[in-house]
Structure 1
Amino acid sequence: MPEEESILTRGLEAFAELGYDHASARELARRLGVSHNFINDRYGSKAAFWRAVVDHALGAQLAGVLDVDPSADDAEWLRRVITAFYRSAADAPLMGRVFVNEFTQDSERLDHLYENYIAPTLQALTPAIDRLVASGRMAPIPMHVLFFAIVPPISGMVEVPLARRLGRPEAAYSPEQLTATAESLATLVVNGLLATGTTGRS
């Protein structure tokens, strides 16, 4: 593994475990196996290092999520995109934990996640959703409701200790079973979104 990739990977592990505020420069340096001023010298600041870590992880994780056959029916396209999203979360659970840490804090880090990843992804979904609503196949849903309908099920892919306590068998962690779980979650979410008996915008 190239030095830079190794540093960013270990940085992700540290931020996922400790959270940004508890990942001190000293602790990061210890975990990275570098001098205490390495992060400032290489990246400029802890905040800049966090952005580099996140961009490295999300760039790889989200690659291909939206590359679903655009000729598919809108509902099927949405299901496939959400499946790919859940599957990518299962492949890289540390980033999911970073998201959980950051979603509860109003910070520049959340701005970075929203502006560079969340908003562009939601914008890519909007045309298909608008067509589903216009055709009567999906009730109008506020964007904040849509987001929290899609994203929280990721916990079923990444919160391994809790999943075990809920009865998830060890065999469920094979690549084939993770794919099956991602598909089941996506189908459940999309079927719920297409249940047009829900209330409208609020």
Structure 2
Amino acid sequence: MPGERDVLLRGLEAFSELGYDRASARELARRLGVSHTFINDRYGSKAAFWRAVVDAALGSQLTRMAPAAPGSGDEDVVRQFVREFYRVNIGEPHLALLMADESARDTERLDYLYQRYIEPTLALVVPSIERLMASGRMARVPMDVLFFAIIAPVAGLVQEPFARRLGRPEHLSLAERLARAEALAGLVVDGLLAPGDAKRRSSV
């Protein structure tokens, strides 16, 4: 019988690869290496198991996001947030894939993700973003547009089959993967904070 940590990790892999609806109780049991009644016996339902998987993965991920140093300016707060967001996704690509899949579906699961994890996390950086926009150091764009500009590039860090077709070497070390995350964060944030015609960009 696998331990709790292994069960939750295998569950994350299954949900990220199959999607919630295609991850039947029997298929989950097969991937977990347990009996077909295990999920209901241990967690009560597939939905409750999904929440346990998400809680374990996101709780661990968010605790690894180092905050900006006390007294940091707003630009540094945004830069640190984006850098850490990309860095932790390197360590848990299955979670990024699950989040991308669930974000496209208007379900109670998305409500759970948003209310419990996404909204509180964004609240850490929204005040800095609002001040940067108000001061003209960042283009005034709708918040949803801004956050998709930050979140969407995560695909470039976790969608390995496509990335390899674009020329990424097949066996990158962790240090090389983290360097790519750092480069991506710099590219995104420098674009958001690009000096010059912020007024023109905000009118788009």
What SS does the corresponding residue of 1:198 show, helix, strand or coil?
Answer: helix
1:59-117 Cα shifts (integer Å, max 9, x gaps) = 11121325221322221221121111101111110001101211111101111111111
Residue equivalent to 2:77: 77
In 2, the alpha carbon distance for the partners of 1:133 and 1:85 equals: 21
Cross-structure match for 2:13: 13
Alignment partners' CA distance in 1, 2:71 and 2:176: 28
1:52 partnered with 2:46: no
**Post-superposition offset of 1:16:** 1.1
Unaligned runs of 5+ in 1: none
Structure-1-length-normalised TM-score:
0.93
Check the 8 A contact 1:25/1:46 in 2, yes or no.
yes
1:133 equivalenced with 2:133 (yes/no): yes
Aligned partners of 2:77 and 2:125 also within 8 Å: no
CA distance in 2, matches of 1:91, 1:10: 15
Q: Which runs of 4+ in 1 moved over 3 A?
A: none
CA apart distance, 1:170: 3.3
| CA deviation vs aligned residue, 1:36-56 (integer Å, no higher than 9, x gap) | 111111111101100100110
Of stretches 191-200 and 73-82 in structure 1, the one that deviates more from structure 2 is 191-200
Judge which range, 186-195 or 45-54, deviates more.
186-195
Amino acid at match of 2:18: L
> What is the CA RMSD across the aligned residues, in angstroms?
1.6
How far apart are the structure 2 equivalents of 1:175 and 1:20?
Answer: 29
Q: Which residue of 2 aligns with 1:105?
A: 105
Distance 2:184 2:99 in 1: 19
For 2:189, give the aligned amino acid. Answer: V
Q: Give ranges in structure 2 of 5+ residues lacking alignment.
A: none
Report the Cα distance in structure 2 between the residues aligned to 1:106 and 1:193, rounded to whole angstroms.
29
Q: What is the identity, as a one-letter code, of the residue corresponding to 2:108?
A: E
* Aligned mates of 1:176, 1:77 — CA distance in 2: 23
Residue of structure 2 equivalent to 1:199: 202
1:70 touches 1:77 (CA, 8 Å); kept in 2? no
Q: Which residue of the partner structure matches residue 189 of structure 1?
A: 188
What is aligned with 1:122? 122
Do 1:132 and 1:138's aligned partners in 2 also have CA atoms closer than 8 Å? yes
Aligned AA for 1:181? R
The alignment of Structure 1 onto Structure 2 pairs a total of residues equal to: 199
Indicate if the aligned counterparts of 2:67 and 2:80 stay in contact, CA closer than 8 A. no
